[in-house]
C-alpha cells in the first residue's frame, strides 16, 4: 500500500474473528505480504486488490472455501488493510433474519469490506435478501400486508462481500454465482508449514532448530492453525519439563504426549478411522452412521476431520459411503505408511 494511509480495521472485528482460539490473534499475519503459501490464491487476490486500489474501484465479491485453519479469516482481515478500508465481520450462523444483516449493510462505507464467515449457514431468507445487495447494492423490503403491501428499495453504498465457508458444496448456485472470485484454500506443504513455525517461534521468542520446525510441520495436518497450536504446546512443555530447552527429542516427546501421531493425526482422527475399521469392517459406510457411532456430528466430521484424511488417501468417499484404504489400514496398524517417514505432499 502506498503513502501510509491509515488502516481502519475495526477493533471489535478482530476480536470476533470467527475463531475461538486466542493464539490466532497474536500469530495471525497482518498483511498479505506476511502470509506464507497458497501462492496462486495469494497472487490472484493480490492482483485483484492491487487493480481495485489503482483504479479506485470497489473490489469484487470474493468467496473463500477450504478446511478450518488454512487462512480464510486471515485473507479476509488482510484484504481491507491492503485496500486501506474498514472491515466488518459477521457470522452466517448468527444472521437468522434479514434484519440481522441490515446493520452491517447500512454500516458499509463505499469500498469497505463485509466478511461473512460460515456463509453456508445463512438461512435462505437472508441469502435472498443478500442477492440484490451484492448485485445492485440495494435491498428490497416489503412493507405492510395483503393488498396494501408495498416493496421499498433502499440503496446501499457499494461494498465488497468476502464470504468464507468450510463447506463449499452447501453454497447454493445463485449465491456462488454472485461472487466475482472464488478461491479454494488447500492444505500447506511441509516446507510452508515449517516456515510458518519458524516465524511464529520467532514471534514467541522461542528457540527453534530446523529439525524441530520440520517435525512440527509434518505433524500439523497441513494446517497453519494446528502448527501454531502445537508450537504453543511445545513451548509450555519445554518450559515446564525441560528448563525452556528445545530440540527434536523434546519436540517429539511433547507431541507424543498430546497423542499426535507421526503424520499429525490426533486421537479424534484415529477414532474416526478406527470406527470405520472396527465397527463397519472397513466400509463403505455412510457418514451419518459413523457420526452416530462416535457420538459426533456428521457436519463436524465432514468439515474438520475428513478433508485431511481424504487428502492423505487414508479413506475414500464412494457412492455407498466412506471406505478405509489399505494405506488407512496400515496406518492404524502402526506400521510406517510408505517406508520410514511418510511424505504426505
What is residue 339's DSSP assignment?
S
Catalytic pick among 28, 121, 178, 225: 225
C-beta of residue 248 within 8 angstroms of C-beta of residue 238: no
Q: Phi and psi (nearest 5°) for 315?
A: -145, 150
- Residue 29 makes contact with ligand ADP by CB under 6 A: yes
CB 64 within 8 A of CB 185: yes
**Residue 80 interacts with ligand ADP (CB under 6 A): yes or no:** no
User: For the chain, first and last CA: distance in Å?
Assistant: 34
Residue from 68, 158, 284, 286 that binds ligand ADP (CB under 6 A)?
68
**Which residue of 9, 13, 18, 275 would you call a contact of Mg ion, by CB under 5 A?**
18
The 10 Å CB-count burial string (b at 16+, else e) for 302-311 is: bbbbbbbbee
Judge whether 244 counts as a catalytic residue: no
- Find the shortest distance in angstroms from Cβ 38 to Mg ion: 14
Q: Does 73 engage in binding with Mg ion (CB under 5 A)?
A: yes
225 is catalytic: yes
Residues numbered 195-254 forming contacts with ligand ADP, rule: CB under 6 A: 196, 224-225, 228
Closest CB to ligand ADP among residues 129, 188: 188
223 and 67 in contact (C-beta within 8 Å)?
yes
Q: Given candidates 37, 98, 283, 307, which one binds ligand ADP under the rule CB under 6 A? A: 37
Write down the catalytic residue from 24, 28, 53, 72: 72
We find the least distance from the C-beta atom of residue 25 to Mg ion, in angstroms, to be 12
Radius of gyration of the chain (CA): 22
Contacts of 333 (CB under 8 A, 6+ apart): none
Q: Which residue is nearest to ligand ADP (CB)?
A: 71
- Told to check if 19 binds ligand ADP by CB under 6 A, we report yes
Specify the stretch interacting with ligand ADP by CB under 6 A; choose among 22-30, 99-107, 141-149, 325-333. 22-30
- When asked if residue 70 is in the footprint of ligand ADP (CB under 6 A), the reply is yes
117 is a catalytic site residue: yes
Q: How far is CA 204 from CA 40, 55, 217, 250, in A?
A: 29, 39, 17, 17
Does position 24 interact with ligand ADP (CB under 6 A)? The reply is yes
> Which of ligand ADP, Mg ion, none does 37 bind, CB closer than 5 to 8 A by kind?
ligand ADP
Residues 6+ apart with CB under 8 A from 174: 127, 131
Number of residues in contact with Mg ion under rule CB under 5 A: 3
Of the candidates 88, 91, 65, the residue with the CA atom closest to the CA atom of residue 77: 88
Instruction: Write a three-state SS string for 142-178.
Output: EECCHHHCEEEEEECCCCEEEEEECCHHHCCHHHHHC
Interface residues with Mg ion (CB under 5 A) are 18, 72-73
Q: Catalytic positions, please?
A: 72-73, 117, 166, 225
Interface residues with ligand ADP (CB under 6 A) are 19, 24, 27-29, 35-38, 68-74, 196, 224-225, 228
Amino acid at each position: 500500500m502506498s503513502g501510509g494511509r491509515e488502516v481502519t480495521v475495526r477493533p471489535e472485528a478482530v476480536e470476533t474473528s470467527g475463531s475461538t482460539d486466542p493464539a490466532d490473534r497474536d500469530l495471525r499475519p497482518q498483511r498479505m505480504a506476511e502470509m506464507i503459501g497458497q501462492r496462486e490464491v495469494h497472487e490472484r487476490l493480490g492482483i485483484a486488490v492491487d487493480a481495485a486500489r489503482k483504479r479506485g474501484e470497489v473490489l469484487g465479491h470474493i468467496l473463500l472455501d477450504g478446511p478450518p485453519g488454512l487462512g480464510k479469516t486471515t485473507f479476509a482481515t488482510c484484504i481491507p488493510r491492503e485496500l486501506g478500508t474498514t472491515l466488518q465481520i459477521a457470522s452466517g450462523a448468527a444472521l437468522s433474519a434479514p434484519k440481522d444483516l441490515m446493520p452491517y449493510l447500512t454500516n458499509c462505507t463505499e469500498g469497505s469490506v463485509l466478511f461473512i464467515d460460515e456463509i453456508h449457514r445463512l438461512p435462505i431468507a437472508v441469502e435472498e435478501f443478500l442477492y440484490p445487495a451484492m448485485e445492485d447494492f440495494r435491498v428490497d423490503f416489503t412493507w405492510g400486508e395483503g393488498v396494501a403491501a408495498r416493496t421499498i428499495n433502499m440503496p446501499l453504498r457499494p461494498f465488497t462481500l468476502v464470504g468464507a465457508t468450510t463447506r463449499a458444496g452447501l453454497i447454493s448456485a445463485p449465491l456462488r454465482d454472485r461472487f466475482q472470485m472464488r478461491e479454494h484454500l488447500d492444505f500447506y506443504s511441509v516446507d510452508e508449514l515449517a516456515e510458518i513455525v519458524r516465524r511464529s517461534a520467532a514471534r514467541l521468542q522461542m528457540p527453534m532448530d530446523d529439525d524441530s520446525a520440520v517435525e512440527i510441520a509434518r505433524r500439523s495436518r497441513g494446517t497453519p492453525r494446528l502448527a501454531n497450536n502445537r508450537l504453543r504446546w511445545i513451548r509450555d512443555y519445554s518450559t515446564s519439563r525441560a528448563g525452556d530447552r528445545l530440540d527434536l527429542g523434546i519436540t517429539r516427546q511433547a507431541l507424543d504426549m498430546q497423542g499426535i501421531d507421526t503424520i499429525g493425526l490426533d486421537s479424534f482422527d484415529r477414532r474416526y478411522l478406527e470406527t470405520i475399521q472396527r465397527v463397519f469392517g472397513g466400509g463403505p459406510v455412510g457418514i451419518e452412521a459413523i457420526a452416530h457411532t462416535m457420538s459426533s456430528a456428521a457436519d463436524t466430521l465432514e468439515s474438520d476431520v475428513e478433508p485431511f484424511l481424504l487428502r492423505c488417501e487414508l479413506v475414500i468417499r464412494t457412492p455407498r459411503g466412506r471406505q478405509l484404504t489399505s494405506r488407512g489400514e496400515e496406518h492404524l496398524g502402526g506400521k510406517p505408511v510408505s517406508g520410514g517417514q511418510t511424505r504426505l505432499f
